């Protein structure tokens, strides 16, 4: 049975699952689907064209599904799609997609934490188990792969890509792609090593972490350019899921990847 506060505003066409709670002064618009067990707290706003999975929580002041802040937007139908068990904290904003991108959808994966005052712009794609720390701003069409963490007050250039299991330090300017499994920090944003602590917590063996470390040592510190390093890795490192994830990411990078630390250039 749902618990809808009498001071909440829920559009009659909104589709709410079972055991949904909606607090006072919360607003849920038309063309919204809210999954089982979700909590929409007081003063939270869910505009139209939002699909939300199960057991999500939207905290006070958060706004999900506002039209994109993109001059190419012409009022077309576009969406926000949110997975299961997503926490959207106070005053975070998640905008709809645009047709100009060819996607027309902004996506947030399951088990992701969007902390207070985070902004996720149009057509971003955030993976599963990600953490976006407070005051982070992601420009349009930023992709963040599974298990990545972006430190507080960081900002991404549009079309940026942050790889799986990467950790980006606080107050970072993300203007180049951040490859999988790495630590990134400083200004300009640079490779600072492998995300050893994060990988260990997620069950990666010491042997596997060292394999990833050796691959990045080859890319950054063996005197080769990126193309040469990738050819060397493909020829000399055994094919593994991690090796292939790194190769695929870097080969597919349009913006180019972050550079090595300044003192080791």
Rounded mean pLDDT, 163-172: 98
Question: How large a percentage of the chain has pLDDT more than 90?
Answer: 98
Rounded mean pLDDT, 235-254: 98
Task: Cite the active site residues.
Answer: 122-123, 140
Per-residue pLDDT at 247 exceeds 70: yes
* Nearest-angstrom CA–CA distance, 223 and 207: 25
Whole-number mean pLDDT of the chain? 97
Evaluated on CA atoms 171, 177, 180, 184, the torsion sign reads negative
pTM, 2 dp: 0.96
Rounded mean pLDDT, 62-75: 97
51's tokens = 């699909």
- Which tens digits make up the pLDDT trace of 82-139? 999 999 999 999 999 999 999 999 999 999 999 999 999 999 999 999 999 999 999 9
Residue 262: the pLDDT is: 73
> Which residues partner with 222 through β-bridges?
none
Per-residue pLDDT at 265 exceeds 50: no
C-alpha of 29 from chain center? 25
Per-residue pLDDT at 256 exceeds 50: yes
Residue 261: the pLDDT is: 82
Using the CB atoms, write b or e for 119-151: b if 16+ within 10 Å: bbbbbbbbbbbbbbbbbbbbbbbbbbbbbbbbb
With cut-offs at 50, 70 and 90, classify the pLDDT of residue 263: low
């Amino acid at each position: 049975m749902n618990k809808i506060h009498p001071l909440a505003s829920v559009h009659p066409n909104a589709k709410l699952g079972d055991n949904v709670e909606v607090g006072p002064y919360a607003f849920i618009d038309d063309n919204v689907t809210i999954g089982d067990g979700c909590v929409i707290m007081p003063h939270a706003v869910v505009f139209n064209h939002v699909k939300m999975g199960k057991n999500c929580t939207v905290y006070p002041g958060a706004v999900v599904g506002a039209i994109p802040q993109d001059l190419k937007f012409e009022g077309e139908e576009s969406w926000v799609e949110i997975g299961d068990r997503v926490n959207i904290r106070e005053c975070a904003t998640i905008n709809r997609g645009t047709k100009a991108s060819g996607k027309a959808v902004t996506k947030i994966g399951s088990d992701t934490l969007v902390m207070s005052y985070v902004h996720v712009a149009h057509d971003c794609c955030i993976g599963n188990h990600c953490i976006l720390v407070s005051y982070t701003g992601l420009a349009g069409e930023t992709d963040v792969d599974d298990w990545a963490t972006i430190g507080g007050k960081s900002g991404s250039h549009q079309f940026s890509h942050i790889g799986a299991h990467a950790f980006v330090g606080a107050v970072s300017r993300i203007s180049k792609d951040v490859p999988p499994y790495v630590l990134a920090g400083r200004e300009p944003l640079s490779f600072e090593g492998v995300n050893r602590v994060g990988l260990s917590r997620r069950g990666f063996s010491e042997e596997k972490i060292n394999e990833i470390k050796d691959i990045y040592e080859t890319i950054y510190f063996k005197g080769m350019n990126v193309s040469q390093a990738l050819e060397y890795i493909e020829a000399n490192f055994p094919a593994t899921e991690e090796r292939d994830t790194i190769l695929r990411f870097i080969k597919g990078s349009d913006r180019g990847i972050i550079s090595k630390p300044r003192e080791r250039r």
